Amino acid sequence: METNLQPQDKPLNICLISYRSNPHSGGQGVYLKNLSRALKDLGHGVDILSGPPDPMTDPDIPLVTLPCLDLYNPADPFRIPSLKELSNPVNLLEWISVSTMGFPEMFTFGLRAYHYLRKQLHCYDIVHDNQSLSYGIWAIKRRVPTVATIHHPITVDRDLAIRSVRSYWKKQKHLRWHSFLRMQRIVSRTFSHIITVSKSARNDIGQDFKIPLKRFRVVPNGINTDQFYPLPGIQREKNRLIVTNSADIPLKGLYYLLQAVADLSLEYSLKLVVIGTPKKNGGIEKKIQELNIGHLIKFTGRIDHAEFVRQYAKASIAVIPSLYEGFGIPAGEAMACGVPVISTTGGALPEVVGDAGALVPPADSQAMGKAIQNLMENPDHALRLGQKGYERIQNQFTWKRAAEKTVACYREAIYDHHRF
């Protein structure tokens, strides 16, 4: 039995699995891209198996993108598949689920991942699932050591979405959309080693999924300081706010920031830059019209990293209005760029921001407005917060540190798999 154990200094062959991997938005894509790079830099072999969109990993990291119907592609959403495509049983299951308001991507990706990997699992020391938690991953786990990352409990998203609507049928629609949670609960309970990104997420996932806390390993995300950094040659514009969320999702709390901006605009000249694009005729657009603040809001659309950093360099304050975050990468990226941060205390955000930013209760536009007002009226204090945030990220949130802690979890899982 001892011959199967991995020496602590032996490089590992790792297969990272992610059902959805957008590197420009959503924490999962950012996580996959940066963790794979850091693991590779530590000397480990890393392969990536992903659903669309392409995570745009570095050329020296092998990537396989599994084909699927990709029915949520913004370029052609909810398209009608061809008869040839639907002759594939997994594709048919995916289309039926989407057609009945479900979200099947985790389930169908897991089936495709198992089918693809089943004859080559012996090539890997460890498989790392990035929150698909599907039955296919369960089958993989029975054959090779496997760990899972759960970024935050999706039950929070579901509950907030249900509370945000009054219509019985809209509530049922949200319940149907989140029906994959039953599968994720079942599969997650079979893991002996689960990585999560904060103590807050660990506690909430453990409670909602009924998983003993001893199975979790808290490994905070890193922030890519090669991509997010101060640009001293660009002067910050007075009273220019920035937020990196344009989604019409109650969880992200943008509605409360818009209300705060509307209230402050009665006394101050200010501008809010929103990184992203609002949903056409969605709740955010309607809220902006209702508050009559369209002239104060600028949506950037999709931008590259260089422009992202320039937008941070121009901003005098970054606001994180989320009601809940399992980690809070936008807060860390803003701090890495030296921008003073105002954040809610939703979920793990206090663990990221610490004492290097202003913290306010979630869903409280008045408290948010007062915090913004305080920084606008005290630029020296804002400057000190920006510097403090920059130092906090440099000292505590690197991807190298995250990769080292992740490898330690891998070795525990490998040891336990061979031991039992």
pLDDT value, residue 28: 77
Q: Name residue, tokens 């890393």.
A: 46
Q: What's the pLDDT band for 4 if we cut at 50, 70, 90?
A: low
- List b or e across 244-265, with b for residues whose CB sees 16 or more CB atoms inside 10 angstroms: bbbbbbbbbbbbbbbbbbbbbb
pLDDT digits (tens, 9 = 90+) for 149-172: 999 889 988 998 898 888 999 999
How confident is the model at residue 18, as a pLDDT?
A: 94
Q: If pLDDT is split at 50, 70 and 90, which confidence band does 420 have?
A: low
Q: What value does the mean pLDDT of the chain take?
A: 92
- Rounded to whole angstroms, how far apart are CA atoms 275 and 286? 18
Can you tell me the mean pLDDT for 94-119? 95
Neighbours of 188 (CB within 10 A): 24
- State the sign of the Cα–Cα–Cα–Cα dihedral 406, 207, 330, 148: positive
Domain 240-396, CATH among 3.40.50.2000, 3.40.50.1980, 3.30.70.1400, 3.40.50.880: 3.40.50.2000
Q: According to the model, what pLDDT value does residue 250 have? A: 80
> pLDDT: is 302 or 199 the higher one?
199
Identical fold between 2-222+399-419 and 240-396: yes
Token output for 365: 């536009």
Sheet harboring 194-196: ordered strands across? 63-65, 45-50, 13-18, 126-130, 146-149, 194-196, 216-218
pLDDT at 3 over 60: no
Please determine, for residue 189, whether its predicted confidence score (pLDDT) is greater than 70.
yes
Q: How far apart are the first and last CA of the chain?
A: 10
CB 131 within 8 A of CB 150: yes
CB within 8 Å of 234: residues ≥ 6 apart? 310, 313, 314
pLDDT at 179 exceeding the cut of 80: yes
The 8-class DSSP code of residue 145 comes to -
| Phi and psi at residue 408, to the nearest 5° | -60, -40
Q: For 132, list phi and psi in degrees, rounded to 5.
A: -80, -40
Residue 43 carries which side chain, given as an amino acid letter?
A: G
Lowest mean pLDDT among 11-20, 65-74, 253-262, 268-277: 65-74
Amino acid 205 reads: I
Of the candidates 217, 222, 48, 65, which has an alpha carbon nearest to the alpha carbon of residue 149? 217
Q: What would the pLDDT profile of 29-81 be if each residue is shown by its tens digit?
A: 788 999 999 999 999 999 999 988 777 788 999 999 998 998 888 778 889 99
In 73-197, beta strands by DSSP E: 126-130, 146-149, 194-196
Name the residue ranges covered by the structural domains of the chain. Answer: 2-222+399-419, 240-396
Question: Above 90 in pLDDT, residue 279?
Answer: no
Q: Give the architecture-level CATH label for domain 2-222+399-419.
A: 3-Layer(aba) Sandwich (3.40)
Confidence of residue 247 (pLDDT cuts 50, 70, 90): low
Distances (CA, A) of 151 to 103, 148, 221, 380: 18, 10, 10, 35
Q: What are the start-end ranges of the H helices in 133-277?
A: 135-141, 154-163, 168-177, 181-188, 199-209, 254-264
